[in-house]
């Protein structure tokens, strides 16, 4: 089974030139991981023709690193991925305080690939306020 046929292909993120001198593409599970990053790192109103696209996490930059903020982040991520990434089913979004930085959180997103039912996980860090 060709992962590109099952999950699709797209320009790699971040965009770069491949070894052949052409724009690099990603496919399969890698393309889905990159899509998740794009969704979550895009704020609302950044895309002119799709102002409600994205994760909307930018305003969290100014929020305190408390349990309520971490729950809001989890809810926002779950809603954004449910709306914008149909190739996955989000199973859990765990947001924990970063033990090395009191002004950051570590996010672990566990999801299931719709086409194969395989489980995957993406981790990312997010800076917050005081």
Quick: pLDDT tens for 69-120.
999 999 999 999 999 999 999 999 999 999 999 999 999 999 999 999 999 9
CA distances (Å), origin 22, targets 19, 35, 50, 70, 72: 7, 20, 28, 40, 40
Q: Give this prediction's pTM.
A: 0.84
- Residue 13 has a pLDDT of 78
Domain 3-127 class in CATH: alpha beta
Count CB atoms within 10 A of the CB of residue 80.
22
């Amino acid at each position: 089974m060709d992962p590109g046929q099952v999950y699709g292909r797209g320009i790699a993120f971040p965009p770069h030139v491949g070894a052949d001198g052409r724009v690099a593409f990603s496919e399969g599970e890698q393309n889905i991981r990159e899509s998740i990053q794009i969704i979550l790192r895009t704020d609302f109103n950044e895309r002119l023709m799709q102002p409600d696209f994205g994760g909307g996490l930018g305003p969290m930059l100014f929020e305190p690193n408390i349990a309520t903020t971490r729950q809001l982040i989890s809810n926002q991520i779950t809603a954004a991925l449910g709306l914008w990434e149909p190739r996955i089913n989000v199973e859990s979004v765990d947001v924990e305080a970063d033990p090395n930085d009191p002004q950051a959180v570590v996010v672990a997103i566990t999801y299931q690939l719709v086409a194969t039912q395989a489980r995957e996980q993406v981790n990312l860090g997010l800076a917050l306020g005081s």
